[in-house]
Amino acid sequence: MRVLITGSNGQLGKEITEKMGKTMSIKAYGKDQLDITNELQVSKIVNHMKPDVIIHTAAYTSVDQCEFAQKQAFEVNSLGAFYVAKAAQNVGAKMVCISTDYVFSGDKNKPYVEGDIPNPKSVYGISKWMGEKLVQATLKECYIVRTSWLYGGGGNNFVKTMLKLAKQKREIKVVDDQVGSPTYTKDLAEVIIQLIGKSYGIYHVSNSGSCSWYEFAKHILKQAGFDANMIKSITTASYGAPAPRPAYSVMAHDALQRESIPLPRCWEEAVNDFLREELKDD
């Protein structure tokens, strides 16, 4: 199987490239090698390779910055996804498109299922939802994979930020009124690989269980051997981030269960695994 991966320099892109590269013929493109907002370049590269599957991880993921760079957010997250889907259709390739829990408003008080209608509050969420719709309208052979609170070995993320701040021994303020599911790129990549060949459609993929960002932060520090009391809980309103976030974005895994794909492990176990890797050389 020939696989083309976009966004290969990102956390998830790196993980998938490493995992799939062991057993499959892959071509992995970072932002410098493939500008997904350049339709001609996307078409040329895909036509040349003629992949069986395109795993589209490239995205504009700075949630707050999207509020100020709206044109870029839609060019990358909406049009870019459309160009990749169009190129996939031209060569008869399947596509896995990575999306987000931020397509939901967060007004629900029980886990979101795949059939729930998105109602994003932020520019980032709107741009990703538009990307989903454009991909589905262009290509029937697609998997929309919504994930949440992603962290992994490559790039910056919440876990690494907490460790960095803890080393500085300063008070850390973290919101306690946003609830979701932290997701380890290693576990997400494994599920994505298992998805290929299953029924097309929307899938929610995150580690099992849920927590607030505050609870997430406290767990990280405790497991890393720091004083968790340096974490102070605050409200979203007092934090004052430019982009609105869903207060509750936990996702159910109904589609994975229908396809008999094992659910990802609990988020605590995944974080502990990541921290062992991250701290082993410290």
User: Catalytic residue positions?
Assistant: 124
Find where tokens 């794909």 sit.
261
Give the closest residue to 102 by CA, choosing from 125, 73, 127: 125
Residue 137, judged by CB atoms within 10 A of its CB (0-12, 13-18, 19+), counts as exposed
Distance from C-alpha of 187 to C-alpha of 185, rounded to nearest angstrom:
5
Rounded alpha-carbon distances, angstroms, from residue 102 to 25, 239, 256: 33, 18, 20
CB atoms closer than 10 angstroms to residue 57: 27
Q: Using CA of residue 113, residue 115, residue 118, residue 124, what is the dihedral sign?
A: positive
